[in-house]
């Protein structure tokens, strides 16, 4: 049994985990900046910045709610 190998495998696993975290963070950033609209695509009202920062969205809250209720 080699403890050196076990330590190496742990180090690699740890590094991969960190890389995955960074990768996911990059994807999230790309989605958030790329998909949020500044104005609602349904009614044209400006979407509050806080809402756009929280989740990628194309509609204002009232429109989003009614679209979700309609099954979209």
Q: C-beta of 42: minimal distance to Zn ion in Å?
A: 4
The Cα 38–Cα 48 span in angstroms is 8
**Closer CB to Zn ion, 14 or 49, in the complex:** 49
Chain residues that interact with Zn ion, rule: CB under 5 A: 40, 42-43, 45, 60, 63
CB of 62 to Zn ion, least distance (A): 6
Question: Which C-beta is closer to Zn ion: that of 27 or that of 43?
Answer: 43
Compute the least distance from the CB of residue 47 to Zn ion, in Å: 8
The burial of 42, by beta-carbon neighbours within 10 Å (0-12 exposed, 13-18 middle, 19 or more buried), is given as middle
CB of 2 or CB of 72, closer to Zn ion: 72
């Amino acid at each position: 049994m080699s403890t050196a190998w076990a330590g190496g495998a742990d180090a690699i696993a740890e590094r991969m985990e960190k890389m995955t975290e960074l990768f996911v963070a990059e994807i999230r950033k790309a989605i958030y900046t790329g998909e949020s609209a500044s104005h609602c695509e349904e009614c044209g009202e400006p979407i509050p910045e806080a809402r756009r920062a929280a989740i990628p969205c194309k509609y204002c809250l009232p429109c989003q709610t009614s679209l979700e209720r309609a099954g979209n």
